[in-house]
């Protein structure tokens, strides 16, 4: 995280466990055992995205880092790119040519996982 006081690791065989640690490597919180391999923290270190991409189903959990509660969930099948917006209120997933040769698109979600564009933008 941006403050350097905490960090998150996904470890173990799938389903893997995501764990929040302090700077001395003491476990502070476990986010659960799920099929996940991706972590993204919003630009303000308030929200956390834990997702399963690549050979996983594209499921996304969104957590508040202040309360350590899950505030949303969604799904983005076949996504290869996922990033928070600079305002920390939206996230975008994309299916790109490198992953599949047809049906390339982007999805934009709000901070609790609701799709903002329906159907997804295709190009």
Q: What is the pLDDT of residue 122?
A: 58
Two tokens, residue 45: 């270190």
Residue 90 lies in a domain: yes
Question: Does 98 map to a domain?
Answer: yes
Per-residue DSSP letters for 45-106?
Answer: SSEEEEE--TTS--EEEEEETTTTEEEEEEE-TT--EEEE-TTSSEEEEEE-TTT-SS--EE
- Is residue 50 in some structural domain? yes
pLDDT of residue 68: 94
Of 67, 66, 72, 30, nearest to 49 by C-alpha is 72
| Number of domains making up the chain | 1
The reply to whether 1 falls in a domain is: no
| Domain of residue 103, CATH code | 2.130.10.10
Q: Is the pTM of this model over 0.85?
A: no
In a domain, residue 101? The reply is yes
Domain that holds residue 65: 6-122
pLDDT in tens, the chain (123 residues): 666 789 999 999 989 999 999 999 999 999 989 999 999 999 998 999 999 887 787 889 999 999 999 999 988 887 888 899 998 999 988 887 766 666 777 888 888 888 776 555 555
């Amino acid at each position: 995280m941006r403050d350097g006081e905490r960090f998150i690791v996904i470890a173990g065989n799938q389903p893997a466990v995501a764990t929040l640690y302090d700077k001395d490597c003491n476990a502070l919180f476990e986010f659960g055992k799920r099929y996940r391999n991706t972590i993204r923290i919003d630009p303000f270190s308030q929200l956390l995205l834990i997702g399963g991409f690549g050979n996983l189903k594209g499921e996304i959990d969104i957590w508040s880092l202040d309360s350590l509660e899950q505030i949303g969930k969604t799904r983005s099948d076949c996504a290869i790119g996922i990033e928070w917006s600079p305002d920390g209120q939206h996230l975008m997933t994309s299916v790109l040519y490198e992953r599949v040769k047809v049906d390339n698109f982007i999805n934009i979600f709000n901070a609790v996982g609701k799709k903002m564009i329906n159907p997804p933008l295709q190009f």
